[in-house]
Structure 1
Amino acid sequence: MSPFPLYEVLYTSELDPSVKVSTIADIVRRARLWNAAHEVTGLLVFDGGRFCHHLEGPAEVVHALALRISADARHTGFRRLHAATRIGPRRLEGHPLSYGLAYDEAEIDAVTALSGVAATERLMQALPRLELEP
């Protein structure tokens, strides 16, 4: 199968102080179902206070999803680091939403110090150091 165009978005944000950390489990559970039904794959990393989230899939779907996420009151400081169309295989094939805990704040710091595809590639390099949930 030849590569097809994918739209990808990478952003960071902070958990709103009024939101309980336990809410994240429900967000992940719902997102996995929604993403699977809409051909979206991604990775959500949380370090206890900040999120770093990569999404990829059909352009219209991912763009609309990113807009919806940016307006979600459960987080603040939405900052898009990368958004582009690319040709190639998915970075996270078969993962409607991988969820990873970063125990070292430096993991997200390293991503947020970059922008564009370099930020996305740095996040993917962190995968072996994250505690990923199935």
Structure 2
Amino acid sequence: MRKTRESDLSDRRSAAADAKAAQLRAFRAAQEAAAPTRLARQEERLAVAVAREERRAERDRIKREEQARIQAEAAAHQAALEAAARAEIEAREKAEKDRISRVIADEAARKAERDRRYANRKARQR
């Protein structure tokens, strides 16, 4: 198919410039038409980001409280273990002291009995 009109370089350049200007006008018109929805979407995204940050802060706060609770429980458990160990040591020491005092009392009783028998024997011999 043959072109009826010969187009030279200047015609092609002006047609390209016109097409480019038309595209630019269409783009600007689309931007202006979409501006309210774009602003609404930006506000919605901002609200979502704020809500996400609040949820993250709440999760972090709950996590810190849980860690503090666990540490407090661990400290209480450790204190209970130490108190139980101290009580056991004190009970052992008391039992040892009681045993020693019983041994001393038994030894004193045996010595007294021995001395009594000795005195009786000496008394019989006189």
User: Do both share a fold (TM > 0.5)?
Assistant: no
Q: Shorter chain as normaliser: what TM range?
A: under 0.3
Larger strand share, 1 or 2: 1
TM-score by length of 2: 0.17
Name the larger-Rg structure.
2
Which protein has the bigger helix share?
2
TM-score, normalising length: structure 1: 0.16
Structure scoring higher RCO (CA < 8 A, sep ≥ 6) equals 1
